[in-house]
């Protein structure tokens, strides 16, 4: 028996894509595969036009107000800083429509950023894919292993969750007030992993190791898998063992190497590892203090000299460390019309 045509299922929507970057074009293709009709896409750069042609063949490239006018669901896939002025600019133009679904893909924001559209009667949804994108068809095959951070008003939360499921992914509800911490967690894991791998590859390359990725790949993949399955029970290495002599030797080797950023990153990550090892009973407080002392350097500066940390640097059993306060910053005010804002920003990715 043949499967029914997805486009003939009830509840199919006309989808407009604002921003044919790596995220927008892929999610547009996923919604199209689920049977929704993509009625238009905005593409500013030549690369985004090529991407739209590859992932969304036959979909017209339109101006943003034309997309908003045609679409029942508008997908805003633009950079974080471009999102607030874009939404506000379109509100000033009177573009938003009552009952229209307005979805953005930013991890940083919840639905508050869509307030100007909501004031016009639109329905705000925040759907952030917790995945890195290449902007190629292979991303579509990765969506089933992906989670989306979903924020929406309670009455329409099932709609947001259903859209994610239709794209083949798993929805995870994130409260509005938690979006900042949620995005920081993902950026810390993904972006800093890239920095860590690049720094380690640089050191090996400086030593003359050919194809350092071949040496690092199995090690880092196994470490990541162990960390995700066993959590901090997977901690290993000289810091978690309290091997101060090895830690001090690492510090001396890095200090002699012309790579200050790597030296600072190693020291601060080692300090954080020692703190967590003490908190979880893997090291005694005294062992943690010895590791911190062996690292040397002032953690509040970028210098490689100075005194090591003392007892205040490593919490005792059950003691938690962290910032006492944080700051919040809102988006800047909108300026210019929506079309101008879109054309002065790179497509979201």
Reported as a single tens digit per residue, the pLDDT across 148-206 is 999 999 999 999 999 999 999 999 999 999 999 999 999 999 999 999 999 999 999 99
Instruction: Quote the CA–CA distance of 166 and 32 in Å, as a whole number.
Output: 10
Which residues neighbour 300 within 8 Å (Cβ) at sequence distance 6 or greater? none
pLDDT of residue 296: 82
Single out the residue of 3, 70, 62 nearest to residue 33, CA to CA.
3
Sort 191 into a burial class: Cβ within 10 Å, 0-12 / 13-18 / 19+: exposed
- When pLDDT is averaged across residues 109-132 and rounded to a whole number, the result is 97
CATH class of the domain whose range is 13-174+333-343: alpha beta
Q: With cut-offs at 50, 70 and 90, classify the pLDDT of residue 336.
A: very low
Q: pTM score, two decimals? A: 0.79
Concatenate the DSSP letters of all residues of 92-148 into one string: HTT---TT-EEEE--SS--SGGGHHHHHTT-EEEEEEE-S---SSTHHHHHGGG-EE
Reported as a single tens digit per residue, the pLDDT across 222-251 is 999 999 999 888 888 999 999 999 999 999
Instruction: Quote the CA–CA distance of 39 and 14 in Å, as a whole number.
Output: 6
Q: Which residues of the chain are in CATH 3.40.50.720 domains?
A: 13-174+333-343
Reported as a single tens digit per residue, the pLDDT across 35-80 is 999 999 999 899 999 999 999 999 999 999 999 999 999 999 999 9
> In residues, how long is the chain?
349
108's tokens: 């940083």
Q: Which residue has the higher pLDDT, 211 or 345?
A: 211
Judge contact between 17 and 24, C-beta under 8 A: yes
Reported as a single tens digit per residue, the pLDDT across 257-284 is 988 999 999 999 999 999 999 998 999 9
């Amino acid at each position: 028996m043949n499967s029914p045509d997805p486009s003939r299922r009830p509840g199919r929507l006309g989808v407009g894509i604002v921003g044919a970057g790596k995220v927008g074009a892929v999610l547009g293709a996923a919604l199209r595969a689920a049977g929704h009709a993509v009625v238009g896409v905005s593409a500013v750069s030549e690369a985004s036009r090529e991407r739209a042609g590859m992932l969304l063949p036959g979909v017209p490239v339109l101006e943003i107000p034309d997309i908003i006018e045609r679409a029942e669901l508008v997908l805003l896939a633009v950079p974080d800083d471009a999102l607030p002025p874009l939404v506000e600019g379109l509100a000033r133009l009177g573009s938003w429509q009552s009952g229209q679904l307005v979805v953005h893909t930013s991890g940083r924001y919840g639905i508050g950023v869509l307030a100007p559209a909501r004031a016009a009667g639109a329905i705000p949804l925040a759907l952030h894919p917790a995945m890195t994108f290449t902007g190629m068809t292979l991303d579509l095959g990765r969506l089933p292993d992906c989670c989306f951070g979903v924020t929406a008003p309670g009455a329409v939360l099932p709609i947001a969750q259903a859209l994610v499921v239709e794209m083949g992914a798993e929805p995870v509800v994130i409260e509005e007030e938690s979006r900042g911490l949620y995005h920081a967690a993902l950026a810390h894991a993904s972006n800093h992993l890239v920095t860590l791998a690049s720094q380690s590859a640089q050191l090996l390359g400086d030593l003359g190791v050919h194809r350092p990725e071949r040496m690092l790949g199995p090690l880092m993949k196994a470490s990541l898998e162990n960390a995700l399955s066993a959590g901090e029970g997977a901690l290993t290495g000289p810091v978690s063992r309290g091997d101060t002599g090895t830690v001090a030797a690492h510090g001396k080797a890095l200090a002699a190497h012309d790579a200050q950023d790597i030296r600072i990153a190693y020291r601060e990550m080692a300090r954080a590892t020692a703190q967590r090892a003490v908190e979880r009973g893997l090291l005694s407080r005294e062992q943690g203090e010895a590791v911190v002392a062996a690292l040397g350097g002032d953690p509040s500066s970028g210098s490689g000299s100075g005194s090591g940390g003392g007892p205040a640097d490593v919490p005792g059993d059950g003691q938690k460390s962290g910032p006492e306060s944080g700051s919040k910053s809102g988006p800047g005010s909108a300026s210019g019309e929506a079309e101008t804002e879109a054309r002065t920003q790179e497509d979201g990715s």
